[in-house]
Chains A and B, each alone.
Chain A
Amino acid sequence: MVRLLGSIMLTKRGFTFHSLISAKLYPRFWNVIDVTKHRNQIMQNIKHSCLLVVLMLLSACASNVVVNGDIPKPLMQQLPLTAKLNFSEEFLNYTYVEQDKKRVIKSLDFGQAQVELFRVVFGSAFRLSEGNTTASDIEITPKVLSIQYSAPRETALNIYEVFVKYRITISDANQQKLADWVIKGYGKTPTAFLKGADAAFNAATNVALRDVGAQISIGLPLQASIKALTLAKSFNRDGVSTLPTTSPTSFALPSTASEAEVKAARVKALKAALKGAIRAEGQE
């Protein structure tokens, strides 16, 4: 409502943004003077005023936003698998840099927040293997595919929005790809309860990351390859699945069977379970 657009008028006390009110109607108020007589004073006033305007405009903008992660631990049953998280350097330090100078933010740094997200979510789903020496059943590699955002001044909506897209590649211990999963997270937050654009983008990005975490938590145990691996891993030495939720499944082995025989039987059961899971998913 406050209109700062319009003609700029030079006065003895500075310069004036003038929109609707005519100086001719209010000569005493606007105090219009001859520019040539007070040139130095006016130039100084212009400099001060420009500085003030720039400071005001800068204070209204978000610049470099650093997202503080706020991801709770998901309420999910841990699967009997060991997972290793592979974060690339680019992923660990991911910062979206805005190329368009007219847009609201210069950069959005959420590398730390997304690493926390994947650690919390996959840490609840699996036992995480630390370091390079520990063996793991699966390896998980997340990658940022794209990020988009919008601010109220761009959309005329009263909300800040963040949209983030990830590709999550899951491979087994032999680097065989098991799943390639694209997940999109969307977060929005109203402007009313937030004081600045920085806080709004921080909140909206957190909502988007929570959305990604929610989809992983719900969808991961339903992935065919994860189901099959979980089932295969759940067979104990006696060939009986220890999973509480799966139907009784077993492979017969004599009690004198060697470790190698148990391992071979596990691989066989894994292949059968994989086939069954893929077939079941196809039927769904």
Chain B
Amino acid sequence: MSLDVIAKFRSLIFMISAISVGACTTVSVDHVQLANRIDIAKGESIVILGRHHSAEFETEPSLVSCVGDRVQNGATKVSIIPEKEFTDGFYPYFESRIAPLKIDRLKDIFSVPLVKQKLQTLDLRYMIWIEGSTERTGSAGSMSCTIAPNGAACFGFGTLEDTSDYEAIIWDVQNYKEVARVSTEAIGTSYIPAFVIPLPLLARVQANACQGMGTQLVEFFEGESTGLKVRPQ
């Protein structure tokens, strides 16, 4: 058997084993319901906002909009106000430096006459604050890349571990009460085998965290299990 055939056979085995390993994510969702019922009437709206006050992390706007889309698709009677539309409309009261961290402070903001007036047009019932971020928690392996006028090629194998840790806090803005909390942790490992062409098998950690959190929020607002399942991607 020639060396070429052996090399091709080896690369085939390498590719097949890399694909079969695949990228995987583990998602765990915990929730605490502090009110007996989380009621919402048709036409009432919800706003989902990301926390940006901490220097240690920055809640990604993509995660906030993903959870918003998920809740909008799952809970039919709920109307979601986009984060930017809300923060622009109530500027400057929900900027990172000024946004209320406690519900008592929200009461003060909503008692400002102009804010109160604007609030009446929205029929806002719940405000959901999402805090957390997705971070790279580990990486291993190595890869070499060659660049030449005829083309480029890479060789090697690497893994990346990402962790998403988010908490959603639901405030009832009509009764000024915290009604529930949802915590989501997702850990995923991505694999990047490269033999001439890198073949990234990326774990969609943030997307899975969004799905887990969104599904739980939908269950809160629909009042029962919606049958939506978290599917690892």
- A residues with a Cβ closer than 8 A to B are 1-4, 6, 11, 13-21, 28-29, 45, 48-49, 52-53, 56, 72-77, 158-159, 188-190, 192-193, 207, 210-211, 213-215, 217-218
Given contacts A192-B62, A213-B92, contact A16 B114 (CB under 8 A): no
Asked if B127 is at the interface (CB within 8 A of a chain A CB), the reply is no
Q: Is B133 close to A, CB under 8 A?
A: yes
Query: Which residue from chain B places its CB closest to the CB of A160 in the assembled complex?
Result: B58
CA distance A19 to B10 in the complex (A): 22
- Answer yes or no: B60 CB below 8 A from chain A CBs: yes
Residues in B with CB closer than 8 Å to A16 are 146-148
* Beta-carbon contact of A49 and B93 below 8 Å: no
- B147/A14 in contact, CB under 8 A: yes
Q: Is the CB of A28 within 8 A of B118?
A: no
B148 to A, closest residue via Cβ:
A14
Contact A28 B147 (CB under 8 A): no
* Nearest residue, chain B, Cβ from A56: B147
A interface majority secondary structure: mixed
CB pair B144–A19 under 8 Å, yes or no, is: yes
Cα–Cα distance between A189 and B133 once the two chains are bound (Å): 12
Whole-angstrom CA separation of A72 from B158 in the bound complex: 45
Contacts of A17 in B (CB 8 A): 144-147
Please, which residue of chain A has its CB at the minimum distance from the CB of B155?
A: A21
B93 / chain A contacts, CB cutoff of 8 Å? 75
CB <8 Å contact, B160 and A75: no
Point out the residues of chain B lying under 8 angstroms from A14, CB to CB: 146-150
* Top 7 A-B residue pairs of the complex, sorted by shortest distance between their CB atoms: A14-B148, A214-B92, A72-B88, A48-B149, A214-B95, A193-B62, A72-B91
Hey, which chain B residues are within 8 Å of A53, CB to CB? 147
Cα-based distance from A11 to B148 in the complex (angstroms)? 10
Q: Which residues 21-75 of B sit at the A interface, judged by CB distance below 8 A?
A: 52, 55, 58, 60-62
- Residues of B with C-beta under 8 A to A214: 91-92, 95, 97-98
Which residues of B lie under 8 Å from residue A48 when comparing CB positions? 148-149
CB closest chain-B residue, reference A51: B149
B92 touches A74 (CB 8 A): yes
